[in-house]
């Protein structure tokens, strides 16, 4: 089925309000989850509603939390998210970094102990909209221990995203956002719920065999085990063999150890995101006109690259998300029946009825 984005966003916001989140935070959570779906990153979209609610119920993430600025100077800030929702901590910290970069040319912001920060590409997009370039390194301590390093079947990393954004005069901003694993954990969840299947070799069993079976991560689901306990004995593989494994390790160091959020740790029930972000004004490094002219020249050259058979066109980072956003705003957000039913069940738990979809949802 395809569900109109405004209807889905309103419904998700009402569920979080029913669960006890403040109205403004509920609206932010819904906005960023639906925004991830619009960008084509269903792994970080509304599929996460039941999981977020279960975390809130057991106290792993806390509603209505005010972030604590631990230390601050003209060009830096260290912020403790106090296990609040990442959809509140993320924009709060991004705006600190943007404001400092606007005034001083550059800034560094360290986040520790945030709830799940969602699609990390949201934060370089927010900065680029303000004319600021940025780099973001992320890790997850505790519950996020899911990824095997190169040469091992054992979990030693989280999916450790990296993201970057650069505003380009006269163009959509360049936005790069990826997990340092072959796939993000949420994409394993999407596959498990009947969505897009995993690429070959995305997972590895405890015996070292490559696989695409999501039960290697979640175990076999039952009513008592809702596939959120990471009960399988396998792992997600690091992307790019030793290169991706090295980048994942760097994310543990920068986003975990340096921020004070902590590196991946076994036998922890809480999920805490750490993020180290660098913000800077492009004009700090030279003429804005020279930068615009060089980007215009290079993009024209890049776009002459011949696509391989079966490839529509060679795209710059951020272009697939822009295409998805245009399609899904026009035609609705596709959800599997399993995902929709899990959201509706979560809503029922808080007395929030699902919207009627007879005239608004389009069967796929």
All domains in the chain, ordered by first residue: 1-58+332-364 (1.10.1530.10), 61-181+240-283 (3.30.1370.60), 182-237 (3.30.60)
Q: Please tell me the predicted confidence (pLDDT) of residue 230.
A: 64
Contact between residue 147 and residue 237 where contact means Cβ atoms under 8 Å apart: yes
Burial of 347 (0-12, 13-18, 19+ CB in 10 A): buried
Asked if the model's pLDDT at residue 223 lies above 60, the reply is no
Asked if the model's pLDDT at residue 281 lies above 70, the reply is yes
In degrees and rounded to multiples of 5, residue 91 shows phi and psi of: -65, -35
CA 136 to CA 311: how far, in whole Å? 30
- Categorize the per-residue pLDDT at 359 as very low, low, confident or very high, splitting at 50, 70 and 90: very low
- Categorize the per-residue pLDDT at 221 as very low, low, confident or very high, splitting at 50, 70 and 90: low
CA distances from 9 to 49, 73, 158, 231, 363 (A): 11, 37, 28, 31, 19
Contact between residue 256 and residue 265 where contact means Cβ atoms under 8 Å apart: no
Both tokens of residue 141? 């301590």
Kindly provide the residue ranges of all beta strands, DSSP E only, lying in the chain, ordered along the sequence: 2-3, 68-73, 76-80, 106-114, 133-142, 147-148, 162-166, 174-178, 203-204, 210-211, 235-237, 271-280, 333-334
Q: Please tell me the predicted confidence (pLDDT) of residue 2.
A: 95
CA distances from 89 to 18, 94, 188, 283 (A): 21, 9, 25, 28
- In angstroms, the first-to-last Cα distance of the chain is 5
Pairing of strands 162-166, 174-178: antiparallel
The pLDDT of 219-246, averaged and rounded, is 76
Whole-structure pTM value: 0.93
Asked if the model's pLDDT at residue 149 lies above 50, the reply is yes
Asked if the model's pLDDT at residue 285 lies above 70, the reply is yes
Asked if the model's pLDDT at residue 362 lies above 70, the reply is no
The pLDDT of 72-80, averaged and rounded, is 98
The position carrying tokens 């660098």 is: 278
Q: What letter does residue 66 receive in the DSSP assignment?
A: P
The dihedral over CA atoms of 61, 67, 71, 75, expressed in degrees to the nearest 10, equals: 110
- Count the neighbouring beta carbons within 10 Å of the beta carbon of residue 172: 14
Q: Please tell me the predicted confidence (pLDDT) of residue 226.
A: 46
Q: Choose between 222 and 201: higher pLDDT.
A: 201
In degrees and rounded to multiples of 5, residue 75 shows phi and psi of: -125, 15
Asked if the model's pLDDT at residue 231 lies above 90, the reply is no
In tens, the pLDDT along 91-132 reads 999 999 999 999 999 999 999 999 999 999 999 999 999 999
How far is C-alpha 324 from the geometric centre of its chain's CA atoms?
16
In tens, the pLDDT along 33-65 reads 999 999 999 999 999 999 999 999 999 999 999
Contact partners, residue 31, CB within 8 Å, separation at least 6:
9, 13, 87
Give just the sign of the alpha carbon dihedral 223, 34, 178, 265. negative
In tens, the pLDDT along 310-340 reads 888 999 999 999 999 999 999 999 999 999 9
CA 155 to CA 46: how far, in whole Å? 26
Alpha helix stretches (DSSP H) within 257-318? 288-302
Q: Please tell me the predicted confidence (pLDDT) of residue 228.
A: 52
The pLDDT of 206-233, averaged and rounded, is 75
H-run or E-run covering 101:
helix 86-104
Contact partners, residue 150, CB within 8 Å, separation at least 6:
238, 241, 242, 244, 245
Q: Quote the Cα angle for 279-247-160, to 5°.
A: 75
Largest separation between any pair of C-alpha atoms in the chain: 61
Average pLDDT of every residue of the chain: 92
DSSP for 307-361, please give it.
Answer: PPTT------TTHHHHHHHHHHHHH-EE--HHHHHHHHHHHHHTT-PPPP-TTT-
Rg (CA), the chain: 20
Asked if the model's pLDDT at residue 308 lies above 70, the reply is yes
Both tokens of residue 239? 């992307």
- Categorize the per-residue pLDDT at 267 as very low, low, confident or very high, splitting at 50, 70 and 90: confident
């Amino acid at each position: 089925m395809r569900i109109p984005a405004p209807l889905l966003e309103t419904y998700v916001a009402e569920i979080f309000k029913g669960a006890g989140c403040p109205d403004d935070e509920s609206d932010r959570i819904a906005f960023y989850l639906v925004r991830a779906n619009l960008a084509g990153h269903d792994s970080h979209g509304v599929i996460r509603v039941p999981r977020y609610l279960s975390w809130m119920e057991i106290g792993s993430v806390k509603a209505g939390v005010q972030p604590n600025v631990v230390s601050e100077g003209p060009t830096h800030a260290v912020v403790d998210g106090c296990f609040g929702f990442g959809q509140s901590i993320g924009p709060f910290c991004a705006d600190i970094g943007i404001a400092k970069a606007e005034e001083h040319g550059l800034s560094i912001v360290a986040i520790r102990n945030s709830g799940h920060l969602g699609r990390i590409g949201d934060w370089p997009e927010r900065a680029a909209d303000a004319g600021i370039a940025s780099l973001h390194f992320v890790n997850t301590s505790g519950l996020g221990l899911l990824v095997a390093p190169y040469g091992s079947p054992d979990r030693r990393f989280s999916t450790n995203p990296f993201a970057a954004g650069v505003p380009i005069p006269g163009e959509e901003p360049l936005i790069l956002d990826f997990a340092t694993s072959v796939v993000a954990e949420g994409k394993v969840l999407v596959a498990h719920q009947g969505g897009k299947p995993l690429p070959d070799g995305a997972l590895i069993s405890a015996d070292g065999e490559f696989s695409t079976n999501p039960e290697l991560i979640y175990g076999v689901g039952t009513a008592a085990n809702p596939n959120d306990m990471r009960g399988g004995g396998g792992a997600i593989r690091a992307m790019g063999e030793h290169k991706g494994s090295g980048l994942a390790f760097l994310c543990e160091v920068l986003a975990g150890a340096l921020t004070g959020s902590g590196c991946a740790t076994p036998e922890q029930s809480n999920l805490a995101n750490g993020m180290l972000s660098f913000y800077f004004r492009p004009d700090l490094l030279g003429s804005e006109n020279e930068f615009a002219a060089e980007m215009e020249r290079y993009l024209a050259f890049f776009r002459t690259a011949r696509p391989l058979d079966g490839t529509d066109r060679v795209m710059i980072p951020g272009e697939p998300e822009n295409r998805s956003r245009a399609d899904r705003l026009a035609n609705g957000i596709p959800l599997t029946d399993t995902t929709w039913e899990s959201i509706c069940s979560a809503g029922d738990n808080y007395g929030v009825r699902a919207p009627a979809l007879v005239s608004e949802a389009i069967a796929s």
